[in-house]
Each structure stands twice: as C-alpha cells, then as structure tokens.
Chains A and B, each alone.
Chain A
C-alpha cells in the first residue's frame, strides 16, 4: 500500500496540428484534431479512477505560443474535474507555452497551482499530513537558456519532487532549453525529478533520485511512434518509488518495414501490404494507427516501385484496405527505401559510364565538402526568399542519403534500359 501516488505527464501539446494524410479524410481529420484532447481526457479519467493524490505536468501543455483558446479551456475543464475529485494539479510551463503567452483571464480551480517563473515550493498535503514537497519553475519566455535545475534545493526530510521542463543530459534530438546535466539534477537532492521536454519516454535514473521523462501524451507525427501516455508513480515507505507506465494515446504512429526481396509480382506486394495492415490493426491495443510503410531490401520489384505512378496506385489500394480494418489502419505513405537487384560491387568496377558514375558518387559520398560542392545548385531553392522561410538547409548527413537516392534514380534508368 503506497503512502501516496501521483501521475506524471508532460508535453501534452494540446490542439497540436497533425501533419499527415488527413486532408482528404474527414474521419481521420476529426480524430486527429481531437486526439491530444482525448489523450488528456484519458489521463484525467485514469487519475480519478486510480484515486491519485496529485497530478504533475512538466511543461508544454500547449503546442505553441499561438495556443488556441479551445485548448486552454479544455485544459482547464480537465483540471476542474480533478479538482472536483479532490485531486491537486501542479503545472510548470515550457518552451512551447511560456508564461508571457498565458491568458490572465482564465479562472483556475482552487486545487490547481501553476508555478511562476521564480522557483516555488508547494506542499502536497492530505488529511493534514505532508505527502510531498514539490518545487517547480515555469519558463517566462520561450528562449529559456538558464540552467534551472540548479535553483532546486532540498529543504526538509519530506519526499521532494522537482518539476521542470528541461533538456537534461543534452539530448541532441531536442532544442537545448534550460540545459542541465545529470549531476545538476542529482546535486539538488530531490527524490524524484518529474521532467518534460523529451517526447520519447526515458528513465534517466531509476533510483535516488528517480529522473524520468514520461514522453508526450499523444504521438503527433511519424517521428513520435509507439505507445504514449504517462506514469503512475506510487511512493512507499522510505521514499521507495514504484513506477507504472499507462497508455493514454488515441491514435498511434507506426513505422512498418516490409522487405521486398522475396516479392516477384504486384500481387505479392499487395498481399504483403494487406497482411501488414491486418497485423498492425491487431497489434495497437484496439487503437487506430497511422502507418508509414517502409519498403526495404533489394528485389526485382524495385523497378516497378520506382515508378511514382505505381507507388501512388499501390498507396491508393492500401489506403482502402487499411481503412476497412477495425480499428482502422491509416496509411500515411509508402516510402521506398528499397534498392534494385543490381550488383553494385560489380557495376562500380565496370569500365563504362555506369562504373564511372558510381565511382564518382562514392567519391562524393566520402567528400567532407559535399555541401559546398553543391552549394551553388542548392542555392536556387534554398536561397529563394519565400522557400527558405519554410525550408531548412539540409546537412551533410541528409545530403549523403539523398545522394544515394540520386544514384539509384540514375541506375534505375541506365541499368534497366541497358539490361533490356
């Protein structure tokens, strides 16, 4: 029997836009628009059902500075339900929802505490007993570059929780807001660090202190795959912490690889895709899924697939197949990462044009100045006033992967026509 329990979530990104296939699919568009709200609603219901003592939200409640009122109201309504159930909520804001964009007119329930941009300590009390001491700080503005973790200090022997939106340990996949190291977190002598900012769940430390990123509550794009939700934390005697992840997402993003090596006909492809849809439909805990199919490997069907019209036709077929399943499987796109059946080692050693092309391609691939070699060509697009507003200049890693693609594009025409 735990002394008390709470739920730790972060990165709700309420009313976050979903970039995908939904423009032509009203059902999916509706589901996606409501997805972040539904996920939050699920968390509230779970909190009430599990009779938690308080809820911790570690920043990025909203998706952007231009947060919608709808999101704010729905967020408040959710917290009100907790309030009515006698459950406290403690919230800090992060880079996506700094305090300077906060609506001052919104009326918050009495059991909700939103931490200010100064370090604050709140006591979680139940029946006159101190359960935990919660320290937290919100971002005043988006660009919070201070090491906020250093502001946290233990003040008593009570169970201490640090609630912070920060990039701990310099996670390269995310912006370096409120950067701090693991040592900074450990030095603060908190018992539990409830962090936010990193969208994939990650337990940085499982004991003394527990340092946890619960990940975001609803995947929003193909980079945010897998189960999403929050952690139900139970604190026992001697500050022993027990953590249990729960799913709260309503739609799941999946990247599914299908090797094309054994396929010989279009029918083989369709059958493999149909089977993939069935498997995916059955493996997402009853949730609809948005799937990106990655066709990998090398095989004779590469030639067929490399024609964009064929790939589009296949996509159309599989979209219908996926939608027929229950729960539905929505196909985001079919991406061709496969290659042909050519023996590149042999081709590269040929003393013909193809050999020359491949040798040159390999030379470019290894070149440290790849970007500068193509700078002039790329400037046509990336130097364009309007386009550069929306496009980031590709780094060398990206250019190398596209170089491979360009190589395949050339070989597809040169080898196919020459082997016929």
Chain B
C-alpha cells in the first residue's frame, strides 16, 4: 500500500496516535504564531531540527536525513513563498515568514512519517463516533476511505493500460484523448465495485 510511513521504534513511533496528534499540533501552532523577525526564523528552524532529532527516526543521522528529504520535498512551496514575499515585503519578513511556513509543514510531516495509515484511519473512525447522532456512520466512512485507498493503484493500472494502447497505435496522445477512455474504464470499474459491494450486503 502506498504511504509515507517510515517503520521504526523511536519515541514518536511508540506514542499513541491521539496524544501524538495533539503534541504535534501544539508544536505547529507554536511555530505559526512566531512574529516576522530574524530570531523567529532561527527559532523555527531550530524547532524543526530538534523535533526530528528527538523523534528517533532511526535513519542513522539523528533524523537529519529525513529532515533533509522533507526540506527537499517542499522546495517549490518555499521558493514560491519567498519570491513573492521578497518582492512585496523585504528580506526580514520574507525569510521569517518562509521559515515559519516551512517549519510548520515539516513538523507536521512527523505525524505521517511515524504513524501507519491504518492507525490514523482507526483514530479517525473513533474521532468521528460522536457524529453518529447527525446520522454519519463512522464505519461506512472508514469503509469508503479504505475502498478509495485500494482503488488508487487499480486506476493507476488502468491509466497505464490506456497509455500503452495509445502508444501501440502510434499516437503520442494528448490529455484529452487519454482522459475520455480512462474515465470510461474507471467508471465501469466503479460500477463493478458497486455491484460487488451490494452483493456482499454493503450498500
């Protein structure tokens, strides 16, 4: 199953999901409220590094390898933010604001790096339970999410099939000639899936 989860047994891995979410949220909120000043930029960066070091990600470099990967992953967000800010606000607020935004994203990433998707879905199902009295069935919601997860790779396969069929006919194909057959195949798959679920009494 596709996921961003990173196996390990560090502090965050062992923490139950509820408290972990609250802790990380508090950290992110703290970073978000920093003012636009040079020291705040340093503080935001320091908090990120410390959070990754303490998390015990077990990548052999005190969490710094993962930290680097996360920074690399948001390079476009960081670039776009800082360019816009430099033009309109000047260097100090630009650097501070960008550091703050990036730090919040990078710290939040710790949650999915250290928690399995299934664990988070279970937590979500529990969190949705109070909504039962507005006629939202948490189990159905969880099923919908799970079915979606399993469907993504299936549809990726269908997409590849359509593209290969096009290539076999010698057409490079634009997005339009790709999208229509792909949609038809995907929606047919949806019908079959719906029938299969109905046959099993889910519906």
Query: Does A associate with B in a complex?
Result: no
Mark B residues whose CB is within 8 Å of A.
Answer: none
